[in-house]
Structure 1
Amino acid sequence: MKNTKFTYTKMIFLLGFIFTILVSCERELSDEAVFATFSTNPEVFTDSPVGLGSDFYFPFAGSKATAWTVDETEGYNSNASMRFDIPNADDPEGNYAGAIFRVDGAGRNLTRYDALTFWAKASQGVSIGEMGFGQDFGQNKYQVTRTNINLSTNWVKYVIPLPDPSKLIEERGMFWYSAGTQNTGGFGYTFWIDDLKFEKLGTIAQPMPSISNGEDKVETQFTGNLVSMANYGLTQTFNLESGLNQKITVAPAYFSFKSSDIRVASVSELGIIAFAGTGTSKITATLGGVEATGSLTVNVPGTFPVAPAPTLDESNVISIFSDKYTNVPVNYYNGYWAPYQTTKGEQTNIDGQNVLNYTEFNFVGTQLTTPLDISQMTHFSVDIMMLELPTDIDLLLTFKNENSNATTFQQNRIGQSYQLDPRAPVVFNDTDFKAGVWATIKIPIRPTLETSLDKTGVNLIIIENIKSSNVKTIYLDNMYFYSE
């Protein structure tokens, strides 16, 4: 007993000694250590940009670079405002205006706020396509988008809620916008924004997050493929003080995703889904602890079927998209033409194979950087695959020369003959398609007298879903002109 007591007493002394040392060390650390902190300044623009640094305005590609200025004659109860001059559709310096406002330096801590607010008005009644925050030309990890913001000629306050402020510890993307012309004449207009800042309103309530636009979506994917949850309708809806529900589109990083079988599909912090094995997995999510409506169920049958390799000699080919040939420069494989286009997706890589992958397909366009002279070409070839065939396949493929005095074109039908037009004969029957199998479609380049196509400067290739068929997913590969 004595020995036990002696040992216990020594142990208490030893623990007390260690504790004293630790407390001493902790006190010394707290006195001398400097922890990283970020500005909590909520203001972005009052009479001038606030705390953004010297290099903070970055226009989008194709935007008119001089669209934004500080107007020192117009303001909301102030001496100045941000002025945005949206150009005419034919302005050679850019046919729309869009840019990000990014802090030149360390980001800001926005965790104490619940909304980005501003006052705005326009020279006429207009609807601004997109506004938001979180774009930094990096990962855009916490991007938020509010669409179709209606402005009047009077100053009105607008609110863009923060989906989950706790995420915004070091945010550099203070504001971004994208706006185009609003009328058939393609004429521009002006709008102003003032008192742009983050606020704690305390009236942002009833969060209602959703994925897949609130629907239970089912689709087929393949092992080795990577897709982003950003393509699946990620939104958050809040009830504002006005009583209205405000929906915003939010980046995947705001959500916590869960896969029912991570051996089939796993989701990263940035919302990238990796398909690793065969089977079925259901993906659900929460945002800020609130369960999101909607889900994504993926069926993974195996590896992606490879499109047939072209065999023509490259000297007889002008390639638009193919791993076999050297492709001509392309501005885009999907123009995302608002407001009528629903098609999402563009170039992707599936298990080492580059393909064009489109979902929610109604029409899509590929614009060439330099117009092509296809006068010596006899055909156009494209490989098409649909995983699920609609009952009424009717696609329209169009080559256009928009640089002629009058736009000229050739049209071809793929599938059924919905509205027979001599200028758009059926070149591939719907009965020749098989689900999950590549179909190689050869389209003759017909004489100009039959089609009106000016072959000296083709710059646009469009594929349309004429009958609005239920084409869930369509893949394209090996697009090229060739001569026999």
Structure 2
Amino acid sequence: MKNRKPTYFKDLSLIFLILGLIVSCERDLSEDSVVATFPNTGEVFTDNPINLTDEFFISFDPAQGANTEGFGIDNNVAYAGTSSIRIDVPAPNDPNGSYIGGIFKDRSGGRNLTGYDALTFWAKGSLTATVGLVGFGTDFVDDKYAVGLENIQLSTDWRKYTIPIPNASRLLQEKGMFIFSAGTQSTNGLGYTLWIDELKFETLGTIAQPLPVILDGEDLVQQSFTGSSIRISGLTQTFNIASGENVTVQAAPSYFDFVSSDTSVAAVNELGIVSVVGSGTAFITATISSVLASGSLEVTSTGALPAAPIPTLPSSNVTSIFCDEYTNATSSNFEPGFGGSTTQAAVVTANNDSVLIYSNNNFTGIIFDNTVDASALSFMHVDVYAQQAGVQVEFQIRDIGANGVINTNIFTGQPEGDDADYRFTTGNLTVNGWNSFDIPLTGGILNQKNNLGAIILAGGPNFILDNIYFYTP
């Protein structure tokens, strides 16, 4: 039986703000102040929500496909006690939404969770499905200490799940008690029911062998420019738990302590944003609770990057892929990870403009999340910047057919199976200046460009791209 209706949140974007400590005052009429303390209640839901209001569940945005009708309390099923949380995961064609997810929020002042080392809960499903995301620390305001555990496997009997806390000393005032997101990708579109019970923060004492990671554990070398900024990504923390299993969680940047070897070149804040402030080279590393994270970033700045040319075509004539002057027609994967590729790619902000920086390129691709119909368009525009003499870049514009899928050759790592392409090579680029190209949509894609799905990049090895769009004059 369901007896709680969800509210919902209209903006899914993560807003990273600096969360100040709340300070209390007036102690014996003196001007001394002490840091405010908050309840250290660990229980979130047992038979009822603990220290939460009746409207403790806030759904993801239904305008983005979230189903707000499948959440409630089941008084007939429980791991312990008399009730549990019941979540009905919808089928993709459900008129109320194709997936379900949201957060449990402490709407009061928050909780002090510094004494705990994990969030735990018991769960089971009506099917042996995979739940895409569980975690805590998301409150739809700051999300400063968000933690996510992806793709947990359900059983049809009750099992306990453990989400380690990367650095509990930071959780002085946490409002994000739980987050989940579930769809039917693992059940071939078949809806199912998920039950959760005994949701609580605990001190297990068995969370061990912390292994923090930044940049997915890679030691990256990145060229950059004064005035640019780079976001440190690929942040995780792995722990060994009592079962012997290694559990890896996605961890927000604020759990890490970032260090720059030369702050006159690059400084990094608690949100993992590297600000390049001068010329030279700086090494960025990080720790969690004094444990050095695997992965690093070497940033080399040669000074200010000249601004790329500003496009002047009317937006009605343009289908944009990567350009701040237009609304992009699709999101794209700039690091597809082709086998054998040595390329490092990064989106960097310079001169209040986003640019794509490629280092050590042999071949890579810009893979569109949705295909682009360029039937009525004649050219692809791109601006290319090189710092070294002898740099050439080959662009392969690919129509991938009705299925919208690019296959990868398992032997070469090269994408294949596209229906048609057109290849254009820049020739040697002018150094330390923007080179603009208007590439005709001709050759093999002249009569087949209604499902453009990728731009494959070869050559280099180091270059910068901006203003990538298809257009007609």
The two structures share one fold, judged by TM-score above 0.5: yes
Greater displacement, 32-41 / 78-87: 32-41
Once the two structures are superposed, what CA deviation does each residue of 1:138-163 show, in whole Å capped at 9, x if it has no partner? 22111112122121111110111111
Equivalent in the alignment of 2:20? none
Task: Give the Cα separation in 1 of the matches to 2:71 and 2:391.
Answer: 46
Work out whether residues 406 and 415 of structure 2, in 8 Å CA contact, stay in contact via their aligned partners in 1.
no
Work out whether residues 55 and 104 of structure 1, in 8 Å CA contact, stay in contact via their aligned partners in 2.
no
Matching of residue 429 in structure 1 with residue 430 in structure 2: no
Task: Give the Cα separation in 2 of the matches to 1:71 and 1:434.
Answer: 68
Q: Which amino acid aligns with 2:251?
A: V
RMSD over aligned CA atoms reads 4.5
- Cα distance 1:329–1:205, how it changes in 2: closer, same or farther (>3 A)? closer
Equivalent in the alignment of 1:378? 378
Task: Give the Cα separation in 2 of the matches to 1:473 and 1:188.
Answer: 48
Matching of residue 442 in structure 1 with residue 439 in structure 2: yes
Alpha-carbon distance, 1:71 to partner: 2.5
Equivalent in the alignment of 1:215? 218
Matching of residue 270 in structure 1 with residue 266 in structure 2: no
Equivalent in the alignment of 2:250? 249
Matching of residue 137 in structure 1 with residue 133 in structure 2: no
Matching of residue 193 in structure 1 with residue 200 in structure 2: no
Task: Give the Cα separation in 2 of the matches to 1:482 and 1:303.
Answer: 30
Work out whether residues 209 and 293 of structure 1, in 8 Å CA contact, stay in contact via their aligned partners in 2.
yes
Which one of 228, 231, 253 corresponds to residue 228 of structure 1?
231
Once the two structures are superposed, what CA deviation does each residue of 1:128-184 show, in whole Å capped at 9, x if it has no partner? 222111111222111112122121111110111111111100001111122332248
State the aligned residue count.
432
Q: Which amino acid aligns with 1:64?
A: A
Equivalent in the alignment of 1:75? 78
Unaligned segments of structure 2, at least 5 residues: 1-25, 408-413
Larger Rg: 1
Equivalent in the alignment of 1:65? 67
Instruction: Describe how 1:449-468 pairs up with structure 2 within 5 A.
Output: 450-451=447-448, 453=450, 462-463=453-454
Alpha-carbon distance, 1:399 to partner: 8.0
Which one of 116, 123, 143 corresponds to residue 126 of structure 2?
123
Equivalent in the alignment of 1:12? none
Once the two structures are superposed, what CA deviation does each residue of 1:284-320 show, in whole Å capped at 9, x if it has no partner? 2221122223322112222235333335456644556
Q: Which amino acid aligns with 2:174?
A: E
Instruction: Describe how 1:296-315 pairs up with structure 2 within 5 A.
Output: 296-312=297-313
Percentage of identical aligned residues? 41
Task: Give the Cα separation in 1 of the matches to 2:95 and 2:358.
Answer: 30
Unaligned segments of structure 1, at least 5 residues: 1-25, 401-405, 412-417
- Cα distance 1:378–1:106, how it changes in 2: closer, same or farther (>3 A)? same
The SS at the match of 1:451 is coil
Work out whether residues 204 and 238 of structure 1, in 8 Å CA contact, stay in contact via their aligned partners in 2.
yes
Q: Which amino acid aligns with 1:424?
A: A
Work out whether residues 398 and 409 of structure 1, in 8 Å CA contact, stay in contact via their aligned partners in 2.
no
Equivalent in the alignment of 2:38? 38
Work out whether residues 385 and 435 of structure 2, in 8 Å CA contact, stay in contact via their aligned partners in 1.
yes
Equivalent in the alignment of 1:148? 151
Alpha-carbon distance, 1:240 to partner: 1.1
Work out whether residues 132 and 146 of structure 1, in 8 Å CA contact, stay in contact via their aligned partners in 2.
yes
Equivalent in the alignment of 2:466? 477
Greater displacement, 116-125 / 440-449: 440-449
Task: Give the Cα separation in 1 of the matches to 2:182 and 2:426.
Answer: 40
Task: Give the Cα separation in 1 of the matches to 2:418 and 2:51.
Answer: 63
Task: Give the Cα separation in 2 of the matches to 1:148 and 1:390.
Answer: 42
- Cα distance 1:445–1:155, how it changes in 2: closer, same or farther (>3 A)? farther
Greater displacement, 81-90 / 134-143: 81-90
Structure with more helix by fraction: 1
Task: Give the Cα separation in 2 of the matches to 1:308 and 1:36.
Answer: 52
Work out whether residues 423 and 450 of structure 1, in 8 Å CA contact, stay in contact via their aligned partners in 2.
no
Equivalent in the alignment of 1:8? none
Greater displacement, 249-258 / 72-81: 72-81
Equivalent in the alignment of 2:15? none
Equivalent in the alignment of 2:331? 333
The SS at the match of 1:253 is helix
Q: Which amino acid aligns with 1:166?
A: S
- Cα distance 1:421–1:199, how it changes in 2: closer, same or farther (>3 A)? closer
Equivalent in the alignment of 1:3? none
Alpha-carbon distance, 1:430 to partner: 7.4
Alpha-carbon distance, 1:472 to partner: 9.8
Task: Give the Cα separation in 2 of the matches to 1:445 and 1:278.
Answer: 42
Task: Give the Cα separation in 1 of the matches to 2:203 and 2:267.
Answer: 35
- Cα distance 1:311–1:235, how it changes in 2: closer, same or farther (>3 A)? closer
The SS at the match of 2:303 is coil
Task: Give the Cα separation in 2 of the matches to 1:428 and 1:48.
Answer: 63
- Cα distance 1:358–1:101, how it changes in 2: closer, same or farther (>3 A)? farther
Work out whether residues 396 and 465 of structure 1, in 8 Å CA contact, stay in contact via their aligned partners in 2.
yes
Alpha-carbon distance, 1:219 to partner: 1.8
Matching of residue 261 in structure 1 with residue 262 in structure 2: yes
Q: Which amino acid aligns with 1:159?
A: T
- Cα distance 1:294–1:392, how it changes in 2: closer, same or farther (>3 A)? same
The SS at the match of 2:190 is coil
Alpha-carbon distance, 1:398 to partner: 4.3
The SS at the match of 1:196 is strand
The SS at the match of 1:221 is strand
The SS at the match of 1:270 is coil
Work out whether residues 348 and 354 of structure 1, in 8 Å CA contact, stay in contact via their aligned partners in 2.
yes
Task: Give the Cα separation in 2 of the matches to 1:213 and 1:408.
Answer: 28
- Cα distance 1:311–1:328, how it changes in 2: closer, same or farther (>3 A)? closer
Task: Give the Cα separation in 2 of the matches to 1:364 and 1:448.
Answer: 17
Task: Give the Cα separation in 1 of the matches to 2:210 and 2:196.
Answer: 27
- Cα distance 1:113–1:217, how it changes in 2: closer, same or farther (>3 A)? same
Alpha-carbon distance, 1:280 to partner: 0.8
- Cα distance 1:201–1:472, how it changes in 2: closer, same or farther (>3 A)? farther
Q: Which amino acid aligns with 2:223?
A: T
